[in-house]
Amino acid sequence: MRGLLNTDLIERLLFTAIVIGILLVGYGAFRYLELSNQLSGNMAAQIHEDGGEVTVESKAQAQGLMASDIQRRRLVAEQFNMMVIGGIGLALLGLGWLGYDILRGRRRKTNRVVEASPSSAT
């Protein structure tokens, strides 16, 4: 009875890890794509991708480019964080799935042993 209770608890925890992993992967992927879309509209990101140099004609233009670059750096940092969150989600998903398979294999093995034992035939 105690082993069954522990197995059920472990199964629930593994299932929870799988669900949380799927949610983290989905959230990380969605936010990453959203941030990529925001970066495509950022002036500093476009200049950075082209590798070109900018000649600043006014103080207002320079301030606008500085603000755009600060936003670009924030978006790139957040994009990196979303990759990390997605990776953690994949790790949780993999560990939960692996643990669930191991438990299922042990359960099958235990059932085979119980079915094959001579005491169960009497």
pLDDT band at 50 (very low <50, low <70, confident <90, very high): confident
Question: Does pLDDT of 49 surpass 80?
Answer: yes
pLDDT band at 118 (very low <50, low <70, confident <90, very high): low
Q: Mean pLDDT, to the nearest integer, of 39-51? A: 86
Question: Does pLDDT of 4 surpass 70?
Answer: no
Q: Mean pLDDT, to the nearest integer, of 93-100? A: 94
pLDDT of residue 37: 95
Phi-psi label, residue 54: left if phi above 0, alpha if psi -120 to 50, beta otherwise: beta
Question: Does pLDDT of 79 surpass 90?
Answer: yes
- For the chain, give the mean pLDDT: 87
pTM of the model: 0.77
Parent domain of 63: 2-120
Lowest-pLDDT range of 25-39, 40-54, 103-117? 103-117
- Give me the number of domains the chain comprises: 1
From the list 106, 103, 105, the residue with the least C-alpha distance to 18 is 103
